Amino acid sequence: MEWNWTDSVIGPTGYPRESFFSFRPNQKIDKIVISYGTPSNLIIVGLTFFSSNEDGSTDTLTIGGGGKDSVVIRKDTVLFDGANEYLTGISGRFSVFDDPTSPILYCIKFTTNLRETRMYGVELQSSPLFNLNAPDGDKIVGFLGRSGPYINALGVYHTKA
């Protein structure tokens, strides 16, 4: 994975806590897995991004993880249809969980050139909605942000479709 100088960045939106991450694969993102955890809430504790390379190998990055006491209860998988479908936007909400100084990602939705997914996670209407949309004619080709035990900020890399 390497930086493509034709990429542009939107965000990150969220909160400037925890460690920086960046995932900009050479091929398109073809799968995202959303992990949920904690015994008392069904909140997002992690995201895993997948990109299949032409040689059959896969680039992946998992962000978040829920911390040492978290147990992944459930996972949802979002698949993108081969070469025909690509990401054009993400939206969601950050809110406070166990640390009032460090809001975390509570829900996320993906938009492609072909469809819009449902909102994954717990949608708290009291938290502001964020939208990160690639400009018309562009596609999302990677993610950046900040994460520790949870996801604290998200942004996107985009380039011409």
pLDDT at position 6: 73
CA distance linking residue 13 with residue 15, whole number of Å = 7
- Asked if 143 and 10 touch (Cβ cutoff 8 Å), the reply is no
Cα angle for residues 136, 140, 61 (degrees, 5° grid): 170
Question: Residues with Cβ < 8 Å from 64, sequence gap 6 or more?
Answer: 35, 44, 45, 46, 47, 105, 147, 148, 149, 150, 151
Task: Give pLDDT tens digits for 83-133.
Answer: 899 999 999 999 887 777 778 899 999 999 999 999 998 888 788 889 999
Task: Give pLDDT tens digits for 55-90.
Answer: 989 999 999 986 666 778 889 999 998 789 999 999
